[in-house]
Amino acid sequence: MKNNKGYRPNVAAIVLSSDYPEKCEFLLFRRRGQKRSWQFPQGGIDEGETKIEALLRELDEEIGTNDVEILGEYPDWISYDFPPSSNEKRYPFRGQKQKYFLVRLKDNSKVDIDAFEEPEFDDYQCVTADVLFKKAAFLKRRAYKRVIDYFTKKGLL
């Protein structure tokens, strides 16, 4: 039986270190309590909130800073279905539609994954693109490749 539930609007940030463009390293974050779930920060767009407002709020909530320079926005929404094992808090949605942004941490900005009472992540690393595609959660790899390829073709990476 087909699920007729919709997709939750969401933003995602491809985060580059403050060393960019001299060094092209991505900040990849590990979801708390999930050893193999490395990803970029992401989160829902609240009603009445713009994509940029949601992006900055989610970065602040998830990595403890929104002190970033926005370098680009992927032109399309990318949708995916939640896996069957997904927890109930994500419903009534069948999945998410995401708007991706390429951001660079500003000089001297500090990531603090423990900034909130219930942190989303328990670790992070600066990684090259090769390592990124080996470490990123399998569910996310196709979208990450699509978005990173786009930003590369645009001359941003």
pLDDT at 40 over 60: yes
Q: What is the pTM of this model?
A: 0.91
Task: Dump pLDDT digits (tens) for 76-106.
Answer: 999 988 877 665 555 678 889 999 999 999 9
| Buried-exposed string 39-58: b where 16+ CB fall within 10 A, e elsewhere | bbbbbbbeeeeeeeebbbbb
Domains and CATH numbers, the chain: 7-153 (3.90.79.10)
**Distance separating alpha carbons of residues 10 and 77, to the nearest angstrom:** 9
Q: Residue 102 contacts by C-beta under 8 Å, 6 or more apart in sequence?
A: 13, 14, 16, 70, 71, 72, 73, 74, 147, 151, 156, 157
**Distance separating alpha carbons of residues 1 and 132, to the nearest angstrom:** 36
Average model confidence (pLDDT) for the chain?
92
Q: Residues of the chain with pLDDT > 70: what percent? A: 93
